[in-house]
Amino acid sequence: MRYHNITKDDMLNGDGLRVVLWVSGCSHCCKECQNPVTWDPNSGILFDESAKQEIFEQLEKAYISGITFSGGDPLYVQNISEVTKLAKEIKEKYPSKTIWLYTGALWESLQGEEILNYLDVLVDGEFMIEKKNVALKWKGSSNQRVIDVQKSLKEKQIILHAEG
């Protein structure tokens, strides 16, 4: 897996102050995407032990609410395995921290994926410029959903995150 950046003290990509991992690779290529530089799976920096430790150092801080995976698409074919492994490790090591993930994929297509076991919130759906709305919280276009993953899995239906 490759990545472009690790953002610290981010408050735009989920609730509270977060660390954000911006991965490389996306097959959605949404028109007017805010991050087209991340589409190429071979761009950016190789995710290594040093990058993981940088994330863990942030998660050690009491004021950091959790991690957000974004990009690119964390569920891109070349990312999903490593993102799942990292999310599992974070959930085990920092059980009080929340894990958010942004993907162009739809919730319905992700059923059965292991990653869902470790996510608290999933923002699904491709960004659509014709449905862009800057007033929306935690998403760029009105077709996207901010899903409470664990409640949705338990109830076997989509439950939107309280503020999404």
**Is 29 a domain residue?**
yes
Per-residue pLDDT band at 29 (split at 50, 70, 90): confident
Averaged pLDDT for residues 2-8? 97
Q: For residue 158, how many other CB atoms are within 10 A of its CB?
A: 15
Helix (H, G, I), strand (E, B) or coil at 38: helix
- CA 120, 143, 76, 108 torsion: positive or negative? positive
**Which residue in 73, 50, 81, 63 sits closest to 16, CA to CA?**
63
Range(s) of the domain holding residue 130: 2-155
**pTM of the complete model:** 0.96
Query: Is residue 134 over pLDDT 80?
Result: yes
**Is 161 a domain residue?**
no
Query: Is residue 163 over pLDDT 80?
Result: no
Averaged pLDDT for residues 4-20? 96
49-59 core/surface letters (b: 16 or more CB in 10 A; e: else): eebbeebeebb
**Residue 91 to residues 31, 100, 150, 156: CA-CA distances in angstroms?**
33, 11, 13, 22
Rounded Cα gap, residues 15 and 86, in angstroms? 20
Rounded Cα gap, residues 68 and 101, in angstroms? 5
**Is 144 a domain residue?**
yes
pLDDT score for 66: 98
pLDDT score for 34: 83
**What CATH number does the domain containing 116 carry?**
3.20.20.70
**Is 143 a domain residue?**
yes
**Is 160 a domain residue?**
no
**Is 10 a domain residue?**
yes
Query: Is residue 164 over pLDDT 90?
Result: no
pLDDT digits over 34-93, tens only?
A: 888 999 999 999 999 999 999 999 999 999 999 999 999 999 999 999 999 999 999 999
**Is 109 a domain residue?**
yes
Report how many domains make up the chain: 1
**Is 162 a domain residue?**
no
